Amino acid sequence: MDLINTYKTFLDRGKTERECVSVSLELAEKAGFRDISKYDSLKTGDKVYIVNKDKSLALFIIGRKSLQDGINFVTAHIDSPRLDLKMKPVYEKDGIVYLNTHYYGGIKKYQWVTMPLALHGVVFRKDGSRADICIGEDEEGPSFCISDILPHMAQDQMKKGASEFIDGENLDIVAGLNLKGDEKEGGKNEILRIIEKEYKIKEEDFISAEIEVVPAGKSRSLGFDSSMVMAYGQDDRVCAYTALQALLDSSCDLETTACTLLVDKEEIGSVGATGMDSEMLPNMVSEIMDKAGEYSSLALRRCLRNSHMLSSDVTAAFDPLNGDLYDKMNASFMSKGVSFEKYTGSRGKSGSSDACPEFIAKLRKTLDDAGVVYQMNEMSKVDVGGGGTIAKFAAFYGMDVIDCGVCVLSMHSPWEITAAKDIESAYSAYKAFFTI
């Protein structure tokens, strides 16, 4: 159960990409990993990491074989669906002060109203100084919420479909009241005065900020038997944490170089400089090859092409109350182990990467030899839905890649549910994979 407790602490301390990177670095440093700038050269057994813009991170254990023979990557994403504050967030309307938001990733908007919310993020002032923001987690301090229409007056709202039930533009945070009834003295200006006094942030500083609105509160164990974890952001931090811990616990004497890669922006298509649809991965691997004395553009291509990757992302757990959405024979069940998906995508697998059966056979052998419990999965019935992962961006380099992660009940909701046994299975699978 130790793994589950440390996982819950990781979730509570890492509710944004930046927080996840910072907690991961703390754990990695303790395990002997050092920033690449600390090394003049790299040799077998060295533990090294590269941080990209504080929002993605690669950690390596250098193996005995040449890097040109490939790297074993376990890649998970550390961004999760949430609301982001807009660049000009603070406004007042008829006596209530709000923070304007724009959601990030696939959410059901109605799930985000009338629950405690917290603000996590960073603000950079014009002088370059930085304020780290975490407001709403302390039970004594301020908290935030999005209001909803009372049922007594919701006749029109209740007739709408769930996607129009809550208007995206109105998904705004209640942040204060105009207590003085005076525009100059009260309301927005008073809230801005409090923000400046408490956090040394002026209204214009929100322009250079990255503040995420997330469910407030800690992860919990779920059920009378404590067999599950209920927490925000388990997609995909359940795979991120287990991938990280598996590497930290791995031997320094590996045949093949091992890498846990934690990436950003998966939930909006892996875009941007910190997502997988960028030169981030070849850039990081080039730096490693350079310090190992192996870099050339051909050597880099060989390394990537010869690599193996687990695209470690969560999938849907079979939901008995909505069982007709699943092909039961090919679904993942809670507590039956980590799930492998040959392909993801939607409408005839569009947006997927199709894992080679040769690679899957090799994985089966490795996992069976290590005694890992696992299951094979297709997320839903044909044409019910679907989605993409980072797998296709890895496959672009010619490497073998398969989706592999923990199944989740009510994925993308504010409080997602996983099974403790699946978390343990993911950890064991990733650890075994580093020896493939």
Binding site for Mn ion (CB under 5 A): 235-236, 313
Report, in Å, the least distance between residue 21 CB and Mn ion.
Answer: 17
For Mn ion, the closer of residues 236 and 400 by Cβ is 236
For Mn ion, the closer of residues 23 and 407 by Cβ is 407
For Mn ion, the closer of residues 236 and 341 by Cβ is 236
Report, in Å, the least distance between residue 104 CB and Mn ion.
Answer: 11
| Cβ density class 395-428: b for 16+ within 10 Å, e for less | bebebbbbbbbbbbbbbbbbbbbbbbbbbbbbbb
For Mn ion, the closer of residues 118 and 276 by Cβ is 276
C-alpha angle 28-29-35 in degrees, rounded to nearest 5: 95
Report, in Å, the least distance between residue 223 CB and Mn ion.
Answer: 23
For Mn ion, the closer of residues 190 and 313 by Cβ is 313
Residue 205 corresponds to which amino acid?
D
Read off the tokens for 99: 């923070």
Give the three-class secondary structure for 415. coil
For 95, left (φ over 0), alpha (ψ -120 to 50), or beta?
left
For Mn ion, the closer of residues 256 and 389 by Cβ is 389
Q: Which of 383, 290, 380 has its CA nearest to residue 341?
A: 380
For Mn ion, the closer of residues 147 and 350 by Cβ is 350
Report, in Å, the least distance between residue 313 CB and Mn ion.
Answer: 4
The full DSSP string for 15-54 is SSHHHHHHHHHHHHHHTT-EEGGG-SS--TT-EEEEEETT
The full DSSP string for 321-365 is GGGGGS-GGG-B-TTS-EEEES--BBTTTBT-----HHHHHHHHH
Report, in Å, the least distance between residue 78 CB and Mn ion.
Answer: 10
Given a contact cutoff of 8 angstroms between Cβ atoms, the answer to whether 76 and 313 are in contact is yes
For Mn ion, the closer of residues 46 and 235 by Cβ is 235
Q: Which of 336, 294, 312, 293 has its CA nearest to residue 247?
A: 312
Question: Cα separation of 349 and 358, whole Å?
Answer: 20
Report, in Å, the least distance between residue 308 CB and Mn ion.
Answer: 20
Q: Strand pairing partners for 61?
A: 47, 258
Q: Strand pairing partners for 90?
A: 99
For Mn ion, the closer of residues 73 and 98 by Cβ is 73
Report, in Å, the least distance between residue 394 CB and Mn ion.
Answer: 14
Report, in Å, the least distance between residue 279 CB and Mn ion.
Answer: 22
Report, in Å, the least distance between residue 239 CB and Mn ion.
Answer: 8
